[in-house]
Chain A
Amino acid sequence: MKGSLPTKKKFTVSPAPHFFSGRTIPKVMWTVAAALLPALAASVIFFGWRAVRLQAAAVAAAVVTEAVISRLRRRPLTIGDGSAVVTGLLLAFNLPPDVPAWLAAAGAVFAIAVVKQAFGGLGFNIFNPALGGRLFVAHSWLSRMTTFTPPLTAETAGLDAMTYATPLGAAREALVERIPSLWNMFIGNTGGCIGETSALAILLGGMVLLSMGYISWRIPAAYLGSVALLTWLLPVGEGAVALSPLEHLFSGGLMLGAVFMATDMVTTPVSGKGMLAFGLGCGTITAVFRLYGGNPEGVSYSILIMNAFTPLIDRFTRPRVFGTLKKGLWPRKA
């Protein structure tokens, strides 16, 4: 090749820039899936093979649904990007340990087919698919979805399953003796959905995502901070016992929601200010639900409600354009 150049060479012409960060959708999604592994491990420790069964069913159903719909829409197959796996896992994490596997599968099918693909697939969905799927099964099979059995390791193991309550449920019913210790809440040794109980495991995964820059600190910080502040300031509703702000943070689906669901890129605002507003909104709604609502928990609803506000938040939190005073309200009509 030296000295004489080939007269005809094949060239690739692409627009600038020609250099890329190497961060791709599959990489992001599979990293999120990997960051869910500590919580997955915790779910197996505390709920045993019941958890694995649900996770397998939900992930399989999500991936198959994604594949079928990609085929029906004649779009390239997108199961390789890992987003369906993440949705399936997150959905399973939001289910109580004793629901049947078909229920997990039904939720996953709904999440992918209706909440995600019906809007146009990844990037176009308005609502968090996993939460949408969870809401679907929660309303279709209400009693199954509110029956919690104790973790394998709990001292109450062996008690009548029907009488076991989540920490938030216990606080609502003023069953003080049923409220587990703060430590048990932190490590996840309490009743609840399989993937949400261990704040420790979720935080571990969150740290990974945060350190890699895949999620911003803003939404979790604003979310957790506002829940802590409001549950500390506001009086609790009638007939319930107050939990400390820390107990609130470590109980129910808050940690899972704040770290993995409220940080979903597609359904949350794009700007830093918008993310803070989103987290604040989620936190406020969650706190109000928990303190005064009909259900002891409100994380799913609050995130879904704020999902609906995301376009509005985006519109009013545009950054300042360099060299102007304007906030860049959008769209500025001529």
Chain B
Amino acid sequence: MSASAGYELAITAILTLAGLGFLLSLVLLAGTKIFKVKTDPRVDRVLDLLPGSNCGACGFGGCNECARAIIEEAAAPDVCPLCRGEAVDRISKIAGREVKDTSPAVAVVLCRSRASAPRNFLYRGIPECRAAAAAAGGETACRWGCLRYYDCVRSCPFDAFEIDSEGNPVVDPRRCRSCEICVRACPRGIIKMTPADKPVEVLCSSRDPAKTTARACPTGCIACGRCVKVCPRSAIEVKDNLARIDPELCDGCGRCVEVCPRKIIYLQGAREAAAAGGGDGQK
């Protein structure tokens, strides 16, 4: 008797809950019908092709908004800096617009100094580059160089930065997705996008004359021109007191790397990894 009463209770409970669930599902169904937002099905297809990391590098609040912007022609099909090659082709096909393909680029911090580099004063304020850059012209004796409060490192959505033993932020090209967020985060503007296959780079940004640079930094480019002389393909020129390498002409022979008296010409990307066994090749 008590058992049957138990069953009855159970059945009543199950039926009540099931009924309730059914009724509520009807309400929800009605809700979705009434409040349905019409979306272009192409938005979802574009969204599938986007990386889904919601990094915001495109300038929109996430991949969903970005997809809508592409379909609504508020943004170019290649607005997402993470999508390259085939993905861009397919997105532009869905959006019905042509884009020219761009070659992949990686961020490079054009400064590689030493922890012992001279400083003009001791800065005690908000520990962020954007704040430190405004304080009395910046703490570092070199007015071009990295301030080392790592706004770039914190800004990177893909964790592509590493900090080397001398305190320099260094981009790992394998993890860089070319979003350019760090480029915008750097108040000194020393992070540049360079072709991913560019073999060699001068890691200095100082346009000051050699004397000033030499006093301000142990590894600043002093525009001595030895790299220019040794380069067999004339890919290097010195402009504004700074050596620069033309990626079109450079074949990555590495002779300039050896002759540079300041040791600031570095092999890039995979070559760097191969040459230094994963380290940054600094003595």
B124 within 8 A of A: yes
In the complex, chain B residues 136-158 whose Cβ is within 8 Å of any chain A Cβ: 136, 139
Least Cβ distance of B231 to chain A in Å?
A: 40
Q: Contact: B122 with A15, CB < 8 Å?
A: no
Q: Digit string of A142-164 for contact with B (CB within 8 Å is 1, else 0)?
A: 00000000000000000000000
Q: Contact: B126 with A13, CB < 8 Å?
A: no
Q: Contact: B121 with A10, CB < 8 Å?
A: yes
In the complex, chain B residues 114-136 whose Cβ is within 8 Å of any chain A Cβ: 120-126, 131, 135-136
A7 within 8 A of B: no
A24 within 8 A of B: no
Closest chain A residue, CB of each to CB of B135? A13
**Total number of B residues with any Cβ neighbor in A under 8 Å:** 11
Q: Contact: A12 with B121, CB < 8 Å?
A: yes
B residues in contact with A15, CB < 8 Å: 125-126, 131, 135
A residues in contact with B139, CB < 8 Å: 13
**Total number of A residues with any Cβ neighbor in B under 8 Å:** 6
Least Cβ distance of A195 to chain B in Å?
A: 40
The winner among A10, A12, A13, A15 for most chain B CB atoms within 10 A is A13
Closest chain A residue, CB of each to CB of B124? A14
B residues in contact with A14, CB < 8 Å: 123-125, 135
Q: Contact: B125 with A11, CB < 8 Å?
A: no
* Docked CA distance A259–B268 (Å): 63
* Docked CA distance A10–B121 (Å): 6
Q: Digit string of A8-22 for contact with B (CB within 8 Å is 1, else 0)?
A: 001111110000000
Least Cβ distance of A16 to chain B in Å?
A: 10
Closest chain B residue, CB of each to CB of A14? B124
A residues in contact with B120, CB < 8 Å: 11
* Docked CA distance A85–B121 (Å): 38
B residues in contact with A12, CB < 8 Å: 121-124
A residues in contact with B135, CB < 8 Å: 13-15
Q: Contact: B126 with A10, CB < 8 Å?
A: no
* Docked CA distance A14–B134 (Å): 11
A residues in contact with B125, CB < 8 Å: 13-15
Contact of A11 among B121, B126, B131 (CB under 8 A): B121
Between-chain CB contacts (< 8 Å), 21 pairs? A10-B121, A10-B122, A11-B120, A11-B121, A11-B122, A12-B121, A12-B122, A12-B124, A13-B121, A13-B122, A13-B123, A13-B124, A13-B136, A13-B139, A14-B123, A14-B124, A14-B125, A15-B125, A15-B126, A15-B131, A15-B135
Q: Using a CB–CB distance below 8 Å, which chain B residues touch chain A? A: 120-126, 131, 135-136, 139
Q: Using a CB–CB distance below 8 Å, which chain A residues touch chain B? A: 10-15
Ranked nearest first, the 3 interchain pairs of A and B with the lowest CB-CB distance are: A11-B121, A14-B124, A15-B125
